[in-house]
């Protein structure tokens, strides 16, 4: 299978490309490298045991997208896994127009070019943020998605609606909407992991950078939520489990096209302070933290009902919280400056 992976040099994309190469798929990566690195692609090839075809292109560049499809017209794409997009909740609250333009317009460009070249199998990287403040837990795919709490979540939900409407109008399309919970961890080798630009927006890379000494102290946003210890509760999922979820999802592309939705999570909720404690145990160091005010767009608790993915994709998460922390620490120890300035 020839798979185009947009955002394939990024955190989740790079781990997914390793799994695709490991099963001998042909992989083409499209990435603008705004929050990723060519070094990640080199390491993906090392770990996956194969070569990738890389194009430095932004999804907002319609002509650039067409060039990628045109250059691969002799070995056309069988499917596209679409990761590319901006993803920071806090930044989306501060810069909503940037998020709506980049994520939505970029996806429309991609889908129109796919249709132009007859590529009609798409896996979309969605998010549990589409559920907003859940009315009940665990969260199943049937839960309401009408009350997102931040612009990032709205972009994901709007794209889901666009893709659903498009597939209804073009029933030959096969669309999978995968709603991720909270990806953490790194490849067991320590060769690839999460390497955000600047100060991290996500919990795990912030903790690892405090542990390694790059940052002074973690801010825990809120200790007065209605949770066991007052800090936010999330469904943390190992990034390799998430990558394997995409491999499983590719098998859904059959002779019965449609539009499908699946949660990818563990079904277990851990608090921010649980994560801090477990990471401290994994790395043998105390993680300095302070309590800060709640962050705009955050909710109290969020964890999945992963039953549908087990039934329909034959997939379930294998790694626990300790695995996630140990693998994240191994990545950070081996790469104290991330991928560095190798580009």
Catalytic residues: 152
- Closest by alpha carbon to 162, among 100, 213, 206? 100
Coil, strand or helix: which one is 210? helix
What's the sign of the alpha-carbon dihedral 68, 73, 75, 80?
A: positive
Cα separations in angstroms, 327 against 1, 229, 338: 29, 25, 14
HEC letters along 146-167: CCCCCHHHHHHHHHHHHHHHHH
- Within 13 Å and on the Cβ side, how many CA atoms surround 205? 20
- Closest by alpha carbon to 249, among 121, 127, 142? 121
Beta strands in 63-133 (DSSP E): 79-82, 121-127
Q: CB–CB of 29/38 below 8 Å?
A: no
- Closest by alpha carbon to 263, among 301, 201, 312? 312
């Amino acid at each position: 299978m020839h798979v185009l992976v947009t955002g394939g040099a990024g955190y989740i994309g790079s781990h997914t490309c390793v799994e695709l190469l490991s099963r001998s798929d042909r992989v083409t990566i499209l990435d603008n490298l705004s929050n990723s690195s060519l070094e990640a692609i080199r390491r993906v090839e090392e770990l996956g045991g194969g070569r990738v075809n890389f194009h430095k292109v932004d999804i907002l560049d319609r002509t650039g997208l067409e060039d990628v499809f045109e250059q691969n017209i002799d070995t056309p794409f069988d499917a596209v896994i679409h990761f590319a997009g901006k993803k920071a909740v806090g930044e989306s609250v501060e810069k909503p127009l940037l998020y709506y333009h980049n994520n939505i317009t970029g996806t429309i460009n991609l889908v129109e070019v796919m249709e132009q070249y007859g590529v009609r199998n798409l896996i979309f990287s969605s998010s549990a943020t589409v559920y907003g403040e859940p009315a009940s837990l665990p969260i199943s795919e049937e839960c309401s998605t009408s009350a997102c709490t931040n612009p990032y979540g709205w972009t994901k939900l709007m794209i889901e609606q666009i893709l659903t409407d498009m597939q209804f109008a073009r029933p030959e399309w096969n669309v999978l909407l995968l709603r991720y919970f909270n990806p953490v961890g790194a490849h067991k080798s320590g060769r690839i992991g999460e390497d955000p630009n600047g100060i991290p927006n996500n919990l795990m890379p912030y903790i690892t950078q405090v542990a390694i000494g790059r940052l002074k102290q973690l801010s825990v946003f809120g200790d007065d939520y209605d949770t066991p210890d007052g800090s936010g509760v999330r469904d943390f999922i190992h990034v390799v489990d998430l990558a394997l979820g995409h491999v499983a999802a590719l098998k859904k592309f059959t002779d019965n096209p449609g539009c499908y939705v699946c949660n990818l999570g563990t079904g277990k909720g851990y608090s921010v302070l649980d994560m801090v404690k477990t990471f401290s145990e994994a790395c043998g160091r105390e993680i300095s933290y302070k309590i800060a005010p709640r962050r705009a767009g955050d909710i109290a608790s969020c964890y999945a009902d992963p039953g549908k993915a087990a039934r329909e994709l034959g997939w379930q998460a294998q790694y626990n919280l300790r695995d996630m922390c140990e693998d994240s620490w191994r990545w950070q120890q081996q790469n104290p400056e991330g991928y560095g300035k190798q580009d």
